[in-house]
Structure 1
Amino acid sequence: MEKDFRLNIVTLGKTGVGKSSLLNYLFGTKFETGIGRPVTPADLIETDADINGHAVRVYDSWGIEADKLTEWNNLLKDKAEEHGAAKNPEEWFHAVVYCILAGGSRIEDCDANIISNFVNQGYKVTVAITKADQISEDDERNFKKAIFETIGKEKINVVSVCVGAKTRSGETKPFGRDELIDSILSSWVETVKNRISTATIERLYGHLDTFKSELNDLVDNYDISGRREGNDELAKLLETKIQAKMQELKTETVNEEAKDLLKRCYDIGYNLQSSFGEISLSKIHSPFKNFDSENNKNIGWWYTGYALTLGVMPLINSYAPKFIENQKDRIKGVIEQSICNCKNLLEKELLPMIQTEIEKLLEAKKN
């Protein structure tokens, strides 16, 4: 594990659920309570802490309020992007803890929506039922069942927690801390399984964006002509380059990126090491080596679209600056659409394959 690495944990919950008390109980660190905080969700508060001897960084939210839900969602969306799959694993949120006050027979829509948003980003969310000592075991069981049915049992962990408090009948003993810690640490493994494939595709998108800029530069420096034959040469050149780039991404780059991401996760995730043992990175390449050899023909639509764009143009003076600029803009528009379709192809065809192979690899190490 890298010396300076910290496990990034984001904690959320509505105002009054006892989140600050839970964090104090969990980490033994004094977290700021909601009293005196601004009423708008300006940012997440970062606090360095320790969990069983391992450094963590807690990203604590202001108490979520129903009348400011839009602001909250915008804040969380921005923060999720800052720590999204496109970043290196060291920068991800590695665990998400969402606090819900014990009681009731169902999870509220506001809570369910926020949890689902994180689930959809590849996180295994830990739902902490706070003040669980205040409900009966039957009510607790039914509440957990309702949460699982709403979100999906395989997508979340639900842990009942009590931080300890004075009651009329005496002092209540705290419980749930060890289970909550286990859930936080194990969720890192699930995050790896869920996000490696998405992160790989995001990196491939980055390669395509860079490639698009290179193609646009080529067009800018190309001697655009009013003759169909001369422009067809450019169309074929661009088509060939796009086909070659897609083949490179699918047979070489995907392996390089997946291997790098797995190695980073292995280096920083002590829980991943203990759960799966040493990962043999040399075996990552083979699953994708022969991917989609027939799909090169799917790029063929590109030349047709380009030919239609330029081929219907009459012979015009090749020295007309406005015509030349318009032609270059048209070509760049076709390139933009081409790159978009390439991204869609990668997501549709390659993403499920990477997900399957990563799961097989990690499960093999686990067993």
Structure 2
Amino acid sequence: MTGVPVRPLVHPPKARPGDRVAVLSPSFAAPAVAPEIHEQAMRRLTEVTGLVPVEYPTTRRLDADPRDRAADLMAAFGDPSIRAVLATIGGEDQLTVVPHLDPDVVRADPKPFLGYSDNTNLLSWLWTHGVAAFHGGSTQVHLGPGPGVDPVHAASLRAALLTGERLEVTDPGESADLGLRWEDPRALTESGEREPTEPWTWAGPARAVTGPTWGGCLEVLQWVLAAGRFPDDAGVLDGSVLLLETSEELPPADTVRRMVRVLGERGLLERVAGVVVARPPAQSFEQLRGPDERAAHRAAQRDAVLDVVGRYAPDAVVVVDVPFGHTSPQWVLPYGGLMTVDGVERRVWADYS
């Protein structure tokens, strides 16, 4: 295995059953529009982890001022009785929350943060200030709806919050882009339609690489870079594993190609040892598609990413269609923690310490 040390990161200590954990809405306050889903998520969080969820003033407040959302984040990180912070869901304006955050508060008592999608803003901000976190985990999407918590999500959630072991990231064999609409009473007890997954696609040299992760939702990464919230020295990514996923806004392949190309032109792709690309959502409530159209969307996006990464990072080990990001079942993955991408055995491992 190969791996190059990069920037030192603090890995926050794990919580213990019975500890209090903050459940916040740093972006969209989904619990305000679907309180029954949220309340079921809170019960299940305790059932799966033994942790006690604590809400803050903006957890259920729609259109909360960014400064108020930032204040809740700082209150949670500053409270010694709170031992982890979980986002209810993503959104589209967390970029406006970040300027009101104080890294000294976080560094004084680092604790695990879990989120994805628009929470890429917070994940990258924490990483920039030296604190590792976890990509994934939306209480409103992956804990609250349906008949129960998917086993792979529960296992990686517990690893991120409690146990810190090393797990192999496996494919559950089925996937869904959508659940039922939250206003439908069946959403509390039934899953959305799932379909069989396809084998992962591998590219790059036949070798195994291990490195700390960075990345996230590709659309949000563009905002992070445009706002100047990435270190000037691209060398901080030397030997790392890049995580890439796209959202339910369903960017077409040409758009994805251009966004990944930006990472290449910024000098980021050439630095990484591995690239792990999520199985992308291929439909939304606004754009329902049949099986053939969904398969074509995923294939076109896969080909676009492989083409661009192959141009800028031919030595990187690449795997596409891994179940994280905007898909269910969802793996929570380390952000700043180590992942191994093994192009020989064609296996992926994640270290949750």
- TM-score, normalized by length of structure 1? 0.28
| Structure with the higher fraction of residues in strand conformation | 2
RCO higher in structure (CA 8 A, sep ≥6): 2
| Structure with the higher fraction of residues in helix conformation | 1
> Which has the higher Rg, Structure 1 or Structure 2?
1
